[in-house]
Amino acid sequence: MSIESLKDRIPDFARDVRLNLSALVNDDALGEEAKYGLLLACAIATRNADVAQAFDREAASRLSPAARDAARAAAAIMAMNNVYYRFTHLASNKAYRTMPAKLRMSVIGSPGVAKVDFELWCLAVSAINGCGACVDAHEKVLAAAGVTSETIQFAARCAAIVQSVAVALEAARLPVAVA
């Protein structure tokens, strides 16, 4: 399945989602590797197989195998980190924040793609997963690297749109109410 066929499956009640997805795919704010790695990481983070497969298929022709693996790694490592760091942030016992995480996450230091791209992907996945601590940490790294607020906002917008595609497809599967 391609992104185009995915767009065709978005129901009319989610027309705005379909239009936003079209605009996102046509947006040239990022280079191709940064953009399609971002889209793939976000698609995987939605946990919707149709969305993940469509974006992976699109990424296959636009990303090197190393970049595809890095996008997958961003989604996977943030799935772990977002749960852990959201816990430390939300727990009323602040002692958890001072304890070593004891989580292996070497891919963050050596992702196989430009560090800024990987950080952007991690930020977007963290937004989908709802981890404010990780969003804040990745935003600070990106800002310190000179990434513009507009680029960071683009990543957040990408996360929002890709997540909304997954939700629209799930909502379309609900049974029709009988009056």
Q: Which residues are catalytic?
A: 131, 134
What is the number of alpha carbons within 13 Å of residue 126 lying toward its C-beta? 23
Q: Are 117 and 34 in contact (CB under 8 A)?
A: yes
Q: Which of 79, 86, 87, 13 is nearest to 52 (CA)?
A: 79
- Spatial CB neighbours of 38, under 8 Å, sequence gap ≥ 6: 30, 71, 117, 120, 121, 124, 155, 158
Both tokens assigned to 33: 């590797």
Which single residue is written with the structure tokens 């974006």? 55
Both tokens assigned to 106: 């070497």
Alpha-carbon separation of residue 95 from 38, 98, 100, 138 (angstroms): 34, 5, 10, 22
Supply the angle between the helices 132-144 and 65-90 in degrees, to the nearest 10. Answer: 130
Both tokens assigned to 21: 């997805």
